[in-house]
């Protein structure tokens, strides 16, 4: 497990283009909405002197006034966006299964589809542990996109069950039942933490199965996604200690990044510095996600005794006589 | 009466004789006889904690304080508001879309009261005529036949003004799972508005109404002598002072007494951690503060005492002293829903297991509820019809205390099911807007006029109108008249209506009297209408003075066309507007590039007002109401215009922050891909 973790870390480190590409992709996905929000804020402030304090830090009077009249995307402009509260808010939203604002749902859907498209290229890059070049990278993206959509349907069903059936059962049925007559907040919190733990374990279990399904699909060039899922599940079942401990190590890596951001996140008055530190945090988060994939791929390849092995041959130019024909 | 109290009384008397009014007008204190004894109760009640039932007997001594005879009585049976799902109380929740929790309860979580005996007593103390044959439920507020929260019974001979009668009442009740801050959860019982209680008889008759969800209470002052039987070993907190404790088999009888109050509340639990502190400032009479704390909040003991002491100190210095020798602070059990409520000499605070210092709780709620001892406890307005008189005055007052005693006070948001707080050190809350809940007012600004009887408010507008709007207009008055004058207004109002039932007009008359101005126009706007205030700066322009047109050098000479521009002189045009219907005089401040400022006073009555200046400098900004005197202005952003606005910079600043939040959110969701 330790070797896989280290190997995965090395692979991520050796793939700066992927890290930067994924970071930029999150920026690009967020950018159109950010421009809309920028317009909303600017329009509301207009020529007002209130902008003078709002430009330097929090003008909470104006903020409240803005929120009262805001709709759509404007309603997502809440104090929880400031500094480390943003991380708490987003984690809490997942843990408590709070609905996304409709204005954000489209954004998240875009990010999910885009990530699904990139997943094949990212996996091949990390599995081969060598630079692919844009053509090969996007070729892999294209090859795996359709297959991962098929796998994604199955994953969506699993996550749908978790978030629309299991989560409400845990937190809207069991939690109120178990805490109905409690008068001690600490005890109720312990109950809730326990339920968070169990639910998180279920989510992670599903996540790890689908991670290994994608890894086996790419490394072994599998066409059947159900077959890949079965193969991934077999791998996890046969190596529970290693896969679990590796996952936990990666989760600890995530918590380390979150902890660093907790210490480093500047306040609302920092402006560009807050953005810069935030982007460093986002880059580290991207690296952590890649670390999950890379280390799990390394673990699987270790078991194959073929580090860097990927069954599918890299595409070579020219791919067809027709392409050859258009060369000068 | 202790030595300290005597010394203090002497000081107060000298100060009063000398005509000292500010900053601390004080009245003579005494432990008894401050209020007229109109409705006094001697109660015996037994709690069966396991069965969650309460049985009681009481003798009510009532004196007719009105100008007309009383031929019937009114009895509040508040717990019947939760006897069925068609009660007026629950119907109001349905109207507001907030009744789900009430409708789905099992039978043992409902609450009810049933009178089993009601009779008049003879002068010699023997049983008199049985009043049960004439006992009936009435619904004067909404004619809802399903409501059983108010009863009437005919008196055989009537009670003349000034005459007294005694009534004997027996009843049994089911303690509900908490509704409206009364009830039980686990071993925690908070027992409020729990005994059959007479309505208030005003000069022309009974002023009693049923229990409405968005109103509170109204009762006459009297003496309470209450004996509570609870399981042995359980701690009891109650209105007044415990005078005896007698153990019986498996139970203990706690006897509490209190004069000069208009309600009696109690709580019991085996889990309370009890502590006391003395409040002993040099200028006010001493008070014993008794705190009943939840074990998990042990670390917050000092914060509860400090907040209570701050309320007693500042309210005492500003309005008049707290006259009772004790006050009990109850820290309610988690999810008991009994926090943040006031009763005579006892109130419930409310906090969380994790409550960062420098944030609202428990200080805010503690100061507020302690403050209600003054606005509600002593100045006992009718909360059913004029809730703003205590809630609004108290919100204003508690925010003032907090701004002095507990700053900075940062915004807190709770995550993960409400358990984990995050304190925004970037957002210190302001007294003027946040502590008066301006946003709460904005949301319902046009829903109801405060002059509407409170029980007829839209169920969702109580907080915004009774609490926020009142606090905002009081703070506006503070800024308009000055604190010294407003403090005199409030102190005079307190002194004059202590242990009485003031009406809105009484308060307005004192404002006029103490301010030396007729403020009727102001109360027409803020009290008798639901109009909103919204002033705006509409135009600011500075251009070189230019003139084009025909001139006539001498009368009769040929007209010549001239086009002149004076590059050293700028014509500044300012237009300000009144967008809202309500009016208030406001200042308009124009600032020029050379630092010069021009201040105009606008009566604010017209729909718009232009101002023009010719100066050798351009204007850089205009502000309507620059000092923000008018805190009720629902849109202050439009009050100013700058010629070099920073909106784009502000939007940049905040969009970049928002981007990080969104990117983090996106990464959370794409983690599963």
Using CB atoms within 10 A of its CB, is residue B607 exposed (0-12), middle (13-18) or buried (19+)? exposed
Helix locations, B372-408, DSSP H? 388-405
Band of pLDDT at residue B1, cut at 50, 70 and 90: very low
Give the Cα separation of B445 and B443 in Å (integer): 6
Domain locations in chain A as residue ranges: 2-30+80-314
Task: List the single residue in B with minimal CA-CA distance to A45.
Answer: B647
- Per-chain mean pLDDT for chain B: 93
Render the burial of A137-176: b for 16+ CB within 10 Å, e for the rest: bbbbbebbbebbeebbeebeebbeebeeeebeebbeeebe
In a mutational test of the A interface, the residue from B292, B352, B576, B664 whose CB has the highest number of chain A CBs within 10 Å is B664
**B564 domain residue, yes or no:** yes
In a mutational test of the A interface, the residue from B178, B541, B646 whose CB has the highest number of chain A CBs within 10 Å is B646
In a mutational test of the B interface, the residue from A50, A84, A123, A286 whose CB has the highest number of chain B CBs within 10 Å is A50
Question: Among A65, A86, A182, whose Cβ lies nearest the Cβ of B636?
Answer: A65
Give the other-Cβ count within 10 Å of B138's Cβ: 20
| DSSP letter string, B33-81 | SSS---EEEEEEEEEETTTTEEEEEEEEEEE--SSS-EEEEEEE-GGGG
**Hey, which residues 110-139 in chain A have their CB within 8 Å of chain B?**
111-112, 115-116, 119
| pLDDT tens-digit map of B108-127 | 999 999 999 999 999 898 99
Domain that holds residue B551: 535-647
Q: What is the CATH number of the domain that holds B620?
A: 2.60.40
Looking at B214, B245, B270, the residue that finishes a domain is B270
pLDDT for residue B32 is more than 60: no
Which of B171, B175, B193, B189 shows the shortest CA–CA distance to B53?
B175
Give the Cα separation of B336 and B345 in Å (integer): 21
**B62 domain residue, yes or no:** yes
Q: What 3-state DSSP class applies to A324?
A: helix
| pLDDT tens-digit map of B470-485 | 999 999 999 999 999 9
Which of B219, B200, B263, B261 shows the shortest CA–CA distance to B66?
B200
pLDDT for residue A326 is more than 80: no
Taking an 8 Å cut-off on Cβ atoms, the answer to whether A30 and B647 are in contact is no
| pLDDT computed for residue B308 by the predictor | 98
Beta carbons of B666 and A108 less than 8 angstroms apart = yes
| pLDDT computed for residue B672 by the predictor | 86
| pLDDT tens-digit map of A99-138 | 999 889 999 999 999 999 999 999 999 998 888 888 889 9
Would you state the torsion angle of the CA atoms of residues A219, A223, A226, A229, taken in this order, to the nearest 10 degrees? 0
Band of pLDDT at residue B24, cut at 50, 70 and 90: very low
Lowest mean pLDDT segment, chosen from A297-311, B146-160, B451-465: A297-311
Beta carbons of B220 and B209 less than 8 angstroms apart = no
Task: Kindly report the nearest CA distance between residue A47 and chain B, in angstroms.
Answer: 5
The model carries a pTM of: 0.91
Taking an 8 Å cut-off on Cβ atoms, the answer to whether A50 and B665 are in contact is no
pLDDT for residue B14 is more than 50: no
- Please list the residues that pair with B225 across neighbouring strands: B42, B257
Using CB atoms within 10 A of its CB, is residue B612 exposed (0-12), middle (13-18) or buried (19+)? exposed
Q: What is the CATH number of the domain that holds B51?
A: 2.60.40.1730
B49: which residues sit within 8 A by CB, 6+ positions away? B184, B187, B189, B230, B231, B234, B268
- Please list the residues that pair with B413 across neighbouring strands: B422
pLDDT for residue B436 is more than 90: no
Give the Cα separation of B185 and B294 in Å (integer): 14
| pLDDT computed for residue B11 by the predictor | 44
- Say if A302 is an interface residue toward chain B (CB within 8 Å): no
**B641 domain residue, yes or no:** yes
Taking an 8 Å cut-off on Cβ atoms, the answer to whether A65 and B637 are in contact is yes
**B445 domain residue, yes or no:** no
Structure ipTM: 0.94
pLDDT for residue A3 is more than 80: yes
pLDDT for residue B601 is more than 50: yes
**B336 domain residue, yes or no:** no
- In total, how many domains does chain B have? 2
Which of B495, B507, B502 shows the shortest CA–CA distance to B315?
B495
Looking at B212, B243, B270, the residue that finishes a domain is B270
C-alpha B68 chain-centroid distance: 33
| pLDDT tens-digit map of A21-39 | 999 999 999 999 999 999 9
Give the Cα separation of B38 and A27 in Å (integer): 72
Percent of chain B scored above 70 by pLDDT?
95
């Amino acid at each position: 497990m330790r070797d896989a973790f280290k190997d995965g870390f090395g692979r991520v480190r050796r793939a700066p283009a992927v890290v930067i590409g994924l970071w930029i992709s999150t920026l690009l996905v967020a950018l159109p909405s950010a421009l809309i929000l920028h317009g909303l804020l600017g329009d509301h402030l207009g020529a007002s002197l209130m902008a003078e304090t709002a430009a330097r830090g929090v003008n909470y009077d104006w903020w409240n006034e803005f929120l009262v009249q805001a709709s759509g995307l404007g309603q997502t402009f809440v104090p929880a966006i400031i500094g480390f509260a943003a991380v708490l808010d987003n984690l809490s939203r997942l843990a408590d299964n709070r609905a996304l604002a409709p204005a954000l749902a489209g954004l998240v859907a875009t990010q999910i589809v885009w990530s699904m498209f990139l997943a094949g290229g990212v996996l091949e890059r990390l599995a081969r542990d060598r630079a692919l070049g844009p053509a090969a990278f996007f070729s892999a993206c294209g090859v795996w996109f359709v297959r991962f959509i098929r796998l994604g349907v199955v994953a969506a069903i699993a996550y749908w069950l978790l978030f629309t059936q299991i989560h409400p059962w845990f937190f809207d049925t069991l939690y109120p039942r178990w805490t109905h007559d409690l008068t001690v907040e600490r005890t109720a919190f312990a109950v809730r933490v326990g339920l968070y733990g169990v639910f998180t374990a279920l989510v992670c279990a599903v996540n790890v199965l689908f991670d290994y399904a994608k890894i086996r699909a790419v490394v072994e060039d599998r066409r059947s996604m159900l077959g890949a899922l079965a193969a991934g599940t077999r791998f996890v079942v046969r190596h529970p200690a290693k896969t679990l401990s590796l996952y936990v190590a990666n989760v600890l890596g995530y918590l380390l990044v979150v902890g660093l951001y907790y210490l480093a996140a500047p306040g609302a008055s920092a402006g560009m510095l807050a953005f810069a530190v935030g982007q460093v945090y986002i880059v580290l988060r991207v690296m952590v996600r890649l670390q999950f994939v890379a280390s799990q791929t390394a673990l699987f390849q270790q078991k194959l005794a073929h580090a860097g092995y990927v069954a599918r041959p890299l595409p070579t130019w020219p791919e067809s006589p027709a392409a050859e024909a258009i060369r000068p | 009466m202790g030595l300290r109290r005597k010394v203090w009384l002497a000081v107060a008397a000298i100060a009063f004789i000398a005509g000292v009014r500010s900053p601390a007008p004080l009245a003579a204190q005494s432990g008894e006889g401050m209020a007229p004894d109109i409705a006094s109760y001697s109660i015996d009640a037994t709690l069966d904690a396991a069965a969650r039932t309460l049985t009681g007997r009481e003798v009510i001594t009532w004196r007719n304080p009105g100008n007309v005879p009383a031929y019937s009585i009114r009895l509040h049976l508040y717990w019947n508001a939760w006897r069925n799902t068609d009660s007026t109380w629950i119907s109001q929740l349905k109207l507001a879309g907030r009744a789900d929790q009430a409708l789905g309860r099992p039978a043992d979580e409902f609450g009810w009261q049933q009178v089993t005996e009601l009779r008049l007593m003879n002068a010699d103390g023997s049983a008199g005529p049985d009043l049960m044959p004439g006992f009936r439920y009435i619904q004067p507020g909404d004619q809802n036949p399903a409501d059983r929260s108010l009863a009437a019974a005919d008196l055989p001979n009537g009670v003349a003004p000034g005459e007294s009668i005694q009534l004997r009442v027996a009843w049994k009740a089911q303690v509900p799972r908490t509704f409206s801050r009364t009830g039980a959860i686990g071993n925690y019982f908070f027992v409020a508005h729990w005994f059959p209680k007479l309505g208030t008889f005003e000069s022309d008759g009974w002023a009693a109404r049923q229990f409405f969800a968005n109103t509170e209470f109204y009762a006459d002052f009297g003496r309470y002598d209450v004996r509570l039987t609870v399981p042995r070993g359980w701690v009891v907190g109650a209105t007044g002072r415990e005078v005896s404790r007698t153990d019986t088999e498996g139970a203990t009888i706690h006897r509490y007494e209190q004069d000069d109050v208009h309600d009696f509340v109690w709580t019991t639990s085996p889990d309370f951690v009890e502590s006391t502190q003395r409040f002993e400032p040099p200028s006010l009479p001493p008070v014993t503060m008794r705190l009943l704390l939840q074990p998990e909040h042990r670390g917050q003991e000092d914060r509860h005492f400090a907040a209570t002491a701050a309320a007693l100190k500042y309210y005492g210095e500003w309005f008049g002293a707290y006259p009772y020798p004790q006050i009990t602070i109850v820290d309610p059990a988690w999810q008991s829903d009994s926090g943040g409520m006031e009763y005579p000499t006892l109130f419930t605070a409310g906090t969380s297991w994790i409550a960062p210092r420098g944030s609202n709780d428990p200080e805010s709620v503690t100061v507020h509820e302690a403050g209600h001892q003054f606005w509600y406890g002593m100045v006992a307005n009718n909360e059913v019809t004029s809730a703003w008189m205590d809630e609004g005055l108290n919100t204003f007052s508690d925010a003032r205390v907090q701004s002095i005693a507990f700053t900075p006070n940062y915004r807190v948001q709770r995550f993960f099911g409400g358990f984990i707080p995050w304190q925004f050190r970037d957002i210190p809350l302001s007294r003027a807007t946040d502590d008066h809940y301006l946003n709460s007012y904005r949301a319902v600004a046009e829903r109801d006029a405060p002059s509407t009887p409170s029980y007829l408010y839209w169920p969702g507008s109580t907080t915004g109108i009774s609490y926020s709007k009142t606090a905002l207009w009081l703070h506006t008055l503070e800024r308009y008249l000055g604190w010294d004058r407003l403090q005199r207004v409030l102190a005079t109002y307190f002194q004059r209506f202590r242990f009485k039932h003031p009406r809105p007009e009484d308060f307005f008359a004192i404002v006029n009297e103490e301010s030396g101005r007729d403020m009727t126009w102001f109360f027409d706007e803020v009290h008798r209408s639901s109009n909103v205030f919204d002033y705006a700066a509409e135009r600011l322009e500075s251009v070189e003075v230019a003139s084009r047109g025909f001139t006539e050098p001498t009368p009769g000479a040929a007209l010549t066309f001239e086009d002149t521009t004076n590059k050293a002189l700028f014509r500044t045009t300012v237009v300000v507007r009144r967008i809202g219907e309500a009016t208030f005089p406001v200042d308009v401040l124009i600032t020029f590039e050379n630092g010069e400022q021009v201040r105009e006073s606008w009566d604010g009555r017209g729909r718009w007002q232009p101002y023009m200046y010719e100066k050798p400098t351009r204007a850089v900004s205009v502000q309507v109401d620059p000092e923000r005197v008018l805190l009720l202005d629902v849109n202050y952003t439009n009050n100013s215009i700058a010629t070099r606005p920073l909106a784009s910079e502000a939007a940049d600043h905040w969009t970049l922050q928002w981007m990080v939040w969104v990117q983090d959110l996106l990464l959370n969701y794409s983690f599963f891909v």
